[in-house]
């Protein structure tokens, strides 16, 4: 179910969100890490940060390259939370918020499926903002041929600690967004 709200678009909280997964298909692969920043719509100040590792339900279906890219190890994920608990937390923290991300439709596909699989109502607004589109519009004819987060961070001089870890990626996306809308 698409969640509609009466809050005017420009007054809706923003939730910058990034997932790490065991592969590219929401119908086959699992969410194994999530990070999000709840951000005030006007000031763009971070109001809440959350990150969690999520226990994979079907590790046997994982793409080995995806696990390597994320840095998945059984030891590091030993204390991972359940998907339903993490989704419930996102619902509490960001209900009706507008999702923002880099190639955010990828994350949203996984989230829509995950909420449905867990029998939970999808809490986010149906609008979303994507830094790829914003960067393309801002750079226009100077846009690079590849619009990956690493490439755009280099162009906009944004420092990253660890690529392909949810919190690092979403903080880089947040910094990129601020530069793109300024």
Topology of the domain comprising 12-181: Nucleotidyltransferase; domain 5 (3.30.420)
C-alpha span between 131 and 149 (Å, rounded): 9
Kindly report, residue by residue over 50-88, the tens digit of the pLDDT. 999 999 999 999 999 999 999 999 999 999 999 999 999
pLDDT score for 7:
79
The length of the chain, given as a count of residues: 182
For the whole prediction, is pTM greater than 0.75? yes
> What number is the average pLDDT over the span 125-129?
94
pLDDT score for 162:
84
Kindly report, residue by residue over 8-60, the tens digit of the pLDDT. 777 889 999 999 999 999 999 999 999 999 999 999 999 999 999 999 999 99
pLDDT score for 3:
53
Tell me how far the alpha carbon of residue 161 is from its chain's centroid. 17
| % pLDDT > 90, the chain | 90
> What number is the average pLDDT over the span 130-144?
95
Report which of 109, 110, 112, 128 is spatially closest to residue 120, judged by C-alpha positions.
112
C-alpha span between 138 and 42 (Å, rounded): 20
Residue 89 has pLDDT above 70, yes or no: yes
pLDDT score for 109:
98
C-alpha span between 152 and 145 (Å, rounded): 11
Residue 134 has pLDDT above 70, yes or no: yes
Domain residue extents for the chain? 12-181
Report which of 81, 141, 138, 137 is spatially closest to residue 114, judged by C-alpha positions.
81
Report which of 98, 102, 154, 176 is spatially closest to residue 133, judged by C-alpha positions.
102
């Amino acid at each position: 179910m698409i969640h509609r709200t009466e809050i005017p678009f420009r007054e809706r909280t923003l939730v910058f969100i990034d997932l790490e997964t065991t592969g590219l298909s929401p119908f086959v692969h699992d969410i194994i890490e999530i990070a999000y920043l709840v951000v005030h719509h006007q000031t763009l100040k971070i109001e809440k940060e959350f990150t969690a590792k999520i226990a994979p339900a079907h590790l046997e279906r994982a793409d080995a390259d995806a696990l390597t890219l994320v840095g998945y190890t059984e030891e590091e994920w030993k204390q991972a939370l359940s998907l339903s608990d993490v989704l419930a937390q996102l619902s509490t923290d960001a209900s009706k918020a507008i999702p923002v991300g880099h190639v955010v439709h990828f994350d949203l596909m996984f989230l829509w499926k995950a909420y449905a699989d867990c029998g939970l109502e999808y809490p986010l607004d149906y609008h979303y903002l994507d830094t790829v589109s914003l960067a393309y519009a801002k750079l226009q004819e100077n846009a690079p041929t590849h619009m990956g987060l690493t490439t755009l961070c280099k162009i906009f001089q944004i420092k990253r600690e660890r690529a392909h870890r949810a919190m690092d990626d979403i903080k880089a996306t947040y910094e990129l967004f601020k530069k793109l809308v300024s």
